Amino acid sequence: MERNKFQKNASKELVWLVFFALVCCSVGKNLHAQEGSVGLELYGWKTSVAVSAAQKALVPKGAFNEEKFAQSLKAAVAKLAPLAADLNAHASRSHFNDWLKFKLAVALVKKLWKGQDAQSFAAAALVRAMGYNADLVLMNKRLYLAVQLSRKIYFGAIFTQESGEIFGIYDVECGEFLKKLPSPSLEFFDATQTFGAHAAALNLDIEGFPTLPEKIASRKIKWTFQQKPYTLELALNKNLVDYLEGFPQMEVDWYFNRPLTSAVKAQVVEPLQAIIRKNKWTGRDAVNFLLQFCLDGFKYKDDAKTTRGEHCNFVEETLLSDYCDCEDRAVLLSAMVQGVLGYDVVGLQLPNHISAAVHLNHEPPSAEPAQAQQRYDVDGRVFLSCDPSLMNSEIGDVNPLFKNMAPERIIRVEKVKFAR
């Protein structure tokens, strides 16, 4: 999507003064009056935290300006610090990453406060108290949470500070990033000078997986190779797959280099390796076997024709999905070729299409004429086209639309890592 340009309005209007005071009063009034335990649930994971009546934001006094906002936020952060420490401790025990900690904070805010504006202010304070950089923006007389991100997200409303910090605009009430800015301009209230530049951005890289309760989803994957049928039976944790499905969308190249779960290693990678070893396949035969696994085992449907719309899958999502698009298949095939065979592979970005290409490690050149295969030179090595969206294809085949066409971009694929 086209990135919206950030415009900071230097004026502080009277409307905003009154508006903010009402928001902060709402925060104080809507918080549960009595101390008690509040239950939280996230992707099947459950916990509870103690919340006191004193843990509320302060109402700003007198004329409001950005300094007043920062002071009010600072006071709220101080009061919420014990609660934030409790949330961080619960989250760390289950190996939650920054994104899940953020989701946990939002879940608590939505239980304690009502209304978009009160929730946005409370979320900014709680997320700040948990150690992350969060501020507020005002658009169309509504408050939204602005949270600093470690990288740009796809299909999300973001803006970039002159100093390079990336902020995503989050609708706390709806529980998602805005898809686009509802207004071409926004008023950004930045508390960094008051707090100091010590708060962290939400790290949106995935290096491991959270510990979530098991909720098993089963599926059979069937395919045929060399006129023989094969079947894999999967039993994956649906809670974990739901978490991955709800992760902010990134550029497609990011998905080629995410770790795989130990369950995928045990239920997919190792069984495929066993079949290949039993049949003594190497090189082309081994790659074609994995290509057929992707072609036969997963139904193709363009994202534009689904109710979800444009969405790039993690490998775990594709394994349980009813349908997948070209980029999902390319990510899956790349992970299988690298994880099962250890062969070098790259992703290919072509016009409105994502594919892959494989380097046949240690295999002598094919006797086939060079013009019969689609080859790509990458760092002086030959990679052969391997398109998991081209039905009835083998390694070296290419969609006629892309014959002899240089890719718009070559996506480097690292060695597959497996995480808990």
pLDDT tens, residue by residue, 328-341: 999 999 999 999 99
Fold that domain 216-412 belongs to in CATH: C8orf32 fold (3.10.620)
Of the candidates 167, 258, 159, the residue with the CA atom closest to the CA atom of residue 205: 258
pLDDT of the residue at 22: 45
Separation between Cα atoms, residue 284 and residue 371, nearest integer Å: 17
Asked if residues 376 and 299 have their Cβ atoms less than 8 Å apart, the reply is: no
Q: How confident is the model at residue 278 (pLDDT cuts 50, 70, 90)?
A: very high
pLDDT digits (tens, 9 = 90+) for 238-269: 999 999 999 999 999 999 999 999 999 999 99
Here the tokens at position 380 are 């002086």
Q: Is the pLDDT of residue 1 over 50?
A: no
Separation between Cα atoms, residue 346 and residue 338, nearest integer Å: 10
Q: How confident is the model at residue 60 (pLDDT cuts 50, 70, 90)?
A: very low
pLDDT of the residue at 138: 87
Q: Is the pLDDT of residue 420 over 90?
A: no
pTM above 0.85, yes or no: yes
Q: How confident is the model at residue 135 (pLDDT cuts 50, 70, 90)?
A: very high
Asked if residues 27 and 56 have their Cβ atoms less than 8 Å apart, the reply is: yes
pLDDT of the residue at 380: 94
Separation between Cα atoms, residue 309 and residue 302, nearest integer Å: 9
Q: Where are the domains of the chain?
A: 36-194, 216-412
Q: Is the pLDDT of residue 367 over 70?
A: no
Q: Which is more confident, 365 or 84?
A: 84
Q: What percent of the chain has pLDDT over 90?
A: 67
DSSP assignment string, 61-102: -SS--HHHHHHHHHHHHHHHHHHHHHHHHHHHHTT--HHHHH
Separation between Cα atoms, residue 173 and residue 120, nearest integer Å: 8
Residue entry with tokens 């918080």: 31
pLDDT of the residue at 2: 35
